[in-house]
Amino acid sequence: MNKGKVYLVGAGPGDPRLITIRGMQCIKECTAIVYDRLASPRLLRYARPDVKRVYVGKLPDRHTMKQEDINQLLVDLALEGHTVTRLKGGDPTIFGRVGEEAGLLRKHNIDFEIIPGITSAISVPAYAGIPVTHREHASSLSIITGHESPEKLDRSIYWDKVTNATGTLLFLMGVAKIDYISKQLMKHGRSADTPVALVRWGTTPEQQTLVGTLGTIAELVRTRKFESPAIIIVGDVVKQREALQWYEKMPLFGMRILVTRARAQASDFAEMIEALGGEPCEFPVIEVRKPQESQHLQHIEACLKQAEGYDWLAFTSVNGVEYFFQYLIEHRLDIRKFYKARVAAVGPKTAEALEQRGIKVDLQASRYDAEGLLEAFEHVLQPGERVLLPRGDLARAVLPEQLRQQGIHADEISVYETVIAPLQEPIIIDWLKEKHIHMLTFTSSSTVKNLIKVLEQAGIEDPVALISQYPIASIGPITTATIESFGLKVTIEAEEATIESLTAALIGYNAAQRIEQEEK
């Protein structure tokens, strides 16, 4: 077997949108991807469905993989013939131990490329509203490791030269040594009034910024219990934060939101969350696909052959629209066969999906559920009329049953089915157990049921107990009823059963939480 190739890719500081184009290309083209918790799991959604995923973070039966083992893993994957993307936080060449990984690859004559990433040294201050250079304050900068013991720091850092060599000093991984670093800088010429900022977990929802001076910062760190990992910024550029901070002011800043929708539908919701400063954590627990059982397929075909006989086409979801038209294409059936039928939609998104296919709806529900559609039909349908309902296999029976009680001939066809999504990221399970998620969102009853099943499959003994630790956002009353049937409490419910309304509810919740924290 031919040897593969390894790409040592800088994934950026945490926000997945900060990866480079070349880094994204490596993710899309690789056959094996090696990652840890320093790289956003959202980046993995761009990988091929059949990619071999190796998580080198903490698992239930294993602590975080040692660096030596990671080095060997890259060699082994390449020797198996894989094209490997090794995702590393920040830039791999800045305290990223890329030299060790690349060195072992070279010893085995394995080709590799080092793909630079956006280093936390400049991006984290930027997300805190601090430019590391400024025309009036600093025209140069130094990046320094602060992770070592004071003795090692003194051997690796020439304090008398570094202290005033550049306008801005950036210390990575130095929170535990902040007292020593501050004293050394003041000892060698920096004023005690020199502004200092510490930014913790920059570019993520956990971002926290602490501002002081060289004379006060160590005490502030102690009293505020400010912990690593954080970047230390020393210099007058820190003064810009008051005017330039932006990230921490965004409506959903501070929220990592679990999105349980199907992967194909999650992107719109995730993009809304991102645009508002939150971090979507995509954990699709459902997958929507064409029915597999022959009886469903035969029933669909039989109903489509009766197209001319229907008085109404009633759609209750975007999925219903999309899969219905897929069947029309497969069966080479012209939509004009339904020439008698008027068209009803459960809500604006479903109506929009129809309009994108050149069909204007005749009737739209004011409430976005089956009961709302029944209300809309109340004075329109006549006994004896025929209605075709393209729906999913888990759709509630209330709509066809109520129509039949009114003398309407209602044909249901399951044009799609909902199953448990096959691929899950172990890092998300870690985050749920460690309370790194700030809100769970459910957009259907199936997302509730399947999240519980997925957690059970992952070895969680009591999934309901785990879920109960989190605030829960529901898209509407039907989903809320399912959530509450498991003994769980809904924190917020969307006013309308739409993603836009759910997002608005999240914004309101976050604003209230901020006010509450400020008042403490």
Checking if the pLDDT of 514 tops 80, the result is yes
- 100 and 139 both lie in a single domain: no
- 327 and 409 both lie in a single domain: yes
Helix (H) or strand (E) holding 327: helix 318-330
Structure tokens given for 363: 């009737």
pLDDT tens profile 399-441: 999 999 999 999 999 999 888 887 667 778 888 998 989 999 9
pLDDT tens profile 314-331: 999 999 999 999 999 988
Strand, helix or coil at 22? helix
Percentage with pLDDT > 70 across the chain: 96
Please give the sequence-ordered ranges of beta strands (E in DSSP) within 104-255, or none if there are none. Answer: 111-115, 141-145, 168-172, 195-200, 208-213, 230-234
Residue 264: predicted pLDDT: 67
Residue 149: predicted pLDDT: 62
Domain end marker among 420, 443, 475 = 420
- 392 and 425 both lie in a single domain: no
Domain end marker among 86, 118, 150 = 118
- 19 and 102 both lie in a single domain: yes
Residue 101: predicted pLDDT: 93
- 139 and 240 both lie in a single domain: yes
Alpha carbons 423 and 370: distance in angstroms, whole number: 31
Residue 516: predicted pLDDT: 83
Checking if the pLDDT of 14 tops 70, the result is yes
pLDDT tens profile 205-225: 999 999 999 999 999 999 999
Alpha carbons 302 and 309: distance in angstroms, whole number: 12
CATH code, 478: 3.40.50.10090
Whole-model pTM: value is: 0.81
Residue 291: predicted pLDDT: 84
Checking if the pLDDT of 162 tops 70, the result is yes
Tell me what the mean pLDDT of segment 498-507 comes to: 95
Tell me what the mean pLDDT of segment 232-255 comes to: 96
CATH code, 219: 3.30.950.10
Our count of domains for the chain comes to 4
- 358 and 426 both lie in a single domain: no
Residue 484: predicted pLDDT: 97
Mean pLDDT over all residues of the chain? 91
Residue 491: predicted pLDDT: 97
- 132 and 232 both lie in a single domain: yes
Alpha carbons 317 and 353: distance in angstroms, whole number: 9
Higher-pLDDT residue of 195, 332: 195
Tell me what the mean pLDDT of segment 162-171 comes to: 92
| Helical pair 67-79 and 98-107, crossing angle rounded to 10 deg | 40
- 351 and 400 both lie in a single domain: yes
Checking if the pLDDT of 60 tops 60, the result is no
Checking if the pLDDT of 36 tops 90, the result is no
- 407 and 303 both lie in a single domain: yes
Split at pLDDT 50, 70, 90, the class of 288 is confident
What is the residue type of 152?
K
CATH code, 107: 3.40.1010.10
- 190 and 204 both lie in a single domain: yes
- 267 and 314 both lie in a single domain: no
Tell me what the mean pLDDT of segment 7-28 comes to: 95
pLDDT tens profile 171-209: 998 898 899 999 999 999 999 999 999 999 999 999 999
Split at pLDDT 50, 70, 90, the class of 67 is confident
Structure tokens given for 171: 């210390």
Split at pLDDT 50, 70, 90, the class of 226 is very high
Residues paired with 168 in a beta bridge:
141
Question: 466-482: string of b/e by CB count within 10 Å (b at 16+)?
Answer: bbeebbbbbbbebbbeb
Higher-pLDDT residue of 267, 410: 410
Please give the sequence-ordered ranges of beta strands (E in DSSP) within 65-218, or none if there are none. Answer: 83-88, 111-115, 141-145, 168-172, 195-200, 208-213
* Number of neighbouring beta carbons within 10 Å of residue 227: 13
CB within 8 Å of 75: residues ≥ 6 apart: 104, 105, 108, 110
- 345 and 433 both lie in a single domain: no
Catalytic residue numbers? Answer: 36, 58, 173
Task: Average the pLDDT over each of 49-53, 79-83, 155-159, 302-306 and give the range with the smallest value.
Answer: 155-159
Residue 147: predicted pLDDT: 67
Residue 423: predicted pLDDT: 65
Checking if the pLDDT of 45 tops 60, the result is yes
Domain end marker among 420, 455, 480 = 420
Domain of residue 99: give its range.
Answer: 5-118
pLDDT tens profile 365-392: 888 888 889 999 988 999 999 999 999 8
